[in-house]
Structure 1
Amino acid sequence: MNKAEKFNTNEFKKLQDQIMNPGLMATFRRMAYVSALGIVSMLFLGAVLDVDDIYSKPLSIIMAVIGINMLSEGNIIINRILNQRVPWFSQITKRIRIQVFISVLWLIAVTIIFSLVAPRSLSKDAIITFIFGTIFILGFNSVLIMRSFAYNWRQSLIENEELKQAKLKSDYMALQNQLNPHFLFNSFSVLISEIQYNPPGAVEFAQKMSDVYRYVLQQRNNLTTTLKEELDFLDDFRYLHNIRMGNALQMQTNIETGHLSMYVPPMTLQILIENAIKHNRASEKDPLMIEINSNNNHTLSVTNNINPKTTTYSTGTGLENIIKRYKFLSDKEMDIIHNDEQFIVTLPLLENEK
């Protein structure tokens, strides 16, 4: 929520508390509004209908003011109780039926009480005038309740959006944490191979592995990282695979300088490289070629040639992981092209850190 929205919400809540608050001062303030509006409406209608005894019997006006305040406060209390028992947004149709039914019962009860204690000498026209005054107050009362409904609705939408964002972030972190055990397993497998077949190079490999996994740990709680940081990480990551694969794995990068400060989800490139290695045969005679290029439309394309392994089992979780993370971060979508010669994944470069 931006600052303007927060300001508007706070102002709305302040006004809401002033009018609908159950506190003593708020109740007196509300009753003063209702009494003033009731007296003005009754006197005005009395003048329009030429009802003289409204002015000659102030006790009747006082009793009418008491009656309309009973109506007003009763409806507000009904609304307050139903907000707790039958919230608007859980059972809106049921809530409307219950509120209208109870409010009508309360109106009948107040009318009966008023008719029993009203002066017998009051003319029919005076009673009609009081009824019109009551209608005006009920309209005012309805406005208060609708403001309460609008406030609760707005708060519900805000809370739902906050819960939605919290859940999305939680899901995102769960997706990102899925990378770590998989990557650690692969790294140790390569290290074991190096220890067995190239002991002198195992120390340097272990150092590179430490640098790579340090990056993984540093990025665990980050939603995005700069493209430059991701490419620096990829250099160390590529070293680990080149130790094992030699010239069977060849990578080229062509990145515009201005794109290095843009953002991508952490370890996105690692997933795509691992995906290419997993699904394709590679040898020095027929190497796996991977190209990483930035484009003028603020996208990053990762392209590898196709030489499929026949025994590879794929669940598709790697690409699905990246797609879900981009859905969380942006409305921009990935583009995947798969033909007989190439597999191309185009990633949006994000302009703002998340």
Structure 2
Amino acid sequence: MQKIAISVRNFLLRTSRDVLIVLVIGLTISMLFSWGSILKSSDHFLKSAIYSLVIGSSLWKVNELFSRIIARFFPWHVRPKFTLFLDVVGTILISALVIFLVNHYLYFLISDHPIKERPQYFFLVGIIQLFISLVITSIFYISRFFTEWRKLLVSEEELKREALALQYEALKSYVNPHFLFNSLSVLNSLVDAHPPKAKVFISRFSDVYRYVLQQRDKDLVLLAEELEFAESYIQLIKIRQGDALNVTIDVADRAGWVVPVSLQILLENAFTHNEASMENPLQVTLTREGNHLVVTNNFQPRKVVSNGSGIGLPTIARSYERLGHQKLEVIHQNGYFRVHLPIISEASIGS
């Protein structure tokens, strides 16, 4: 009940504010164009107030509704020029229609002459009203432009922070003491027993570090490059895990772009949060379904999972949202955990 009361109060406050703004603007314009004649009688002033309220509210709210509809289907941050064009053209047409309808039915309140008797006069009045409406609307558009521009700047800064967080998440898994200790232990055991494997391990280890450092300033990378990096990472992990880990990459079409290091984060989540043994190996597959890269693993959760920052998967999702592309989709059912990673086409990047 308290929330309802607050909502009602806020609605009444906004409505009162809007009515006051419309009346002040409308009556001021009427005063200027009538040389103060609306003050000659209370009846004339009341009729002018009603007329100003009707035409002002209609122009404001109808154009506001139209602008919201346009912004919903054509967001400003995706195609700002096209959205602005639709808004401007729509505003002119809608304003002209509203002015014609209001004048046709209500101008008699402040004029003794119906529209039929003086069409040229009413046409001139309509043009003046349309011009004033567009001037006022332009002020709101300029204000909105700077507001959206400021949001875009903030969004870009947030995107940069998200990208840094994503890279940090990936890099952290390689520089934390536990990972380094295990990797060096594996390397130590391979140097004498299997020198060729030791060379492969060192090569893959350096590939992984090099890739993360190279992509740290990029918003998107080629899917082919990300998959090559994932292959190096998988080989690095398989040298440690052996047959307890089975990873299959079945992606023939490697065209497109993805958020850098996102695939590695998804694989690391699968390796970290699931048991993997010779008796119950972890099965991970990478496939492409249309414009998504699908990472699937059989769900066999660990009893104890090492604490992480917890920003990996949410950070990838927010990175895609900030870039204005498809959303990350996570499906957990029938004993499998599937993540659909959006693949961004060249055309989408251009738009």
TM-score normalised per structure 2: 0.58
- In structure 2, relative to structure 1, the CA distance for the partners of 1:328 and 1:285 (3 Å cut) is same
Counterpart of 2:298? 305
Q: CA deviation at 1:193?
A: 2.6
| Alpha-carbon distance between aligned partners in 2 of 1:328 and 1:254, rounded to the nearest angstrom | 29
* Equivalent residue for 1:103, pick from 29, 34, 39: 29
| Alpha-carbon distance between aligned partners in 1 of 2:166 and 2:123, rounded to the nearest angstrom | 65
Counterpart of 1:193? 182
Alignment of 1:252-291 (within 5 A): 252-256=248-252, 259-291=253-285
Counterpart of 1:332? 326
- Structure 2: runs of 5+ lacking an equivalent: 1-16, 39-111, 192-196
8 A Cα contact 1:191 1:206, kept in partner: no
Question: Which protein has the larger Cα radius of gyration, Structure 1 or Structure 2?
Answer: 1
AA paired with 1:285? E
Identity of aligned residues (%): 27
**How large is the Cα RMSD of the aligned pairs?**
3.4
| Alpha-carbon distance between aligned partners in 2 of 1:182 and 1:136, rounded to the nearest angstrom | 65
SS at match of 2:341: strand
Deviations 1:319-354 (A, max 9, x none): 222322333345534432223532112233221264
TM-score normalised per structure 1: 0.58
| Alpha-carbon distance between aligned partners in 2 of 1:136 and 1:110, rounded to the nearest angstrom | 22
Matched, 1:184 2:171: yes
SS at match of 1:273: helix
Q: CA deviation at 1:180?
A: 2.5
AA paired with 1:300? L
Counterpart of 2:222? 226
| Alpha-carbon distance between aligned partners in 1 of 2:214 and 2:187, rounded to the nearest angstrom | 29
- In structure 2, relative to structure 1, the CA distance for the partners of 1:170 and 1:323 (3 Å cut) is same
AA paired with 2:296? T
8 A Cα contact 1:180 1:216, kept in partner: yes
AA paired with 1:194? S
- In structure 2, relative to structure 1, the CA distance for the partners of 1:142 and 1:311 (3 Å cut) is same
Deviations 1:41-98 (A, max 9, x none): xxxxxxxxxxxxxxxxxxxxxxxxxxxxxxxxxxxxxxxxxxxxxxxxxx75543232
Q: CA deviation at 1:279?
A: 0.8
8 A Cα contact 2:224 2:254, kept in partner: yes
- In structure 2, relative to structure 1, the CA distance for the partners of 1:304 and 1:195 (3 Å cut) is same
| Alpha-carbon distance between aligned partners in 2 of 1:294 and 1:237, rounded to the nearest angstrom | 19
Counterpart of 1:57? none
8 A Cα contact 1:293 1:301, kept in partner: yes
Deviations 1:173-206 (A, max 9, x none): 2222112333223212323333345334778656
AA paired with 2:22? I
- In structure 2, relative to structure 1, the CA distance for the partners of 1:315 and 1:341 (3 Å cut) is farther
Q: How many residues align?
A: 244
- In structure 2, relative to structure 1, the CA distance for the partners of 1:160 and 1:303 (3 Å cut) is same
* Equivalent residue for 1:237, pick from 228, 233, 253: 233
| Alpha-carbon distance between aligned partners in 2 of 1:224 and 1:154, rounded to the nearest angstrom | 32
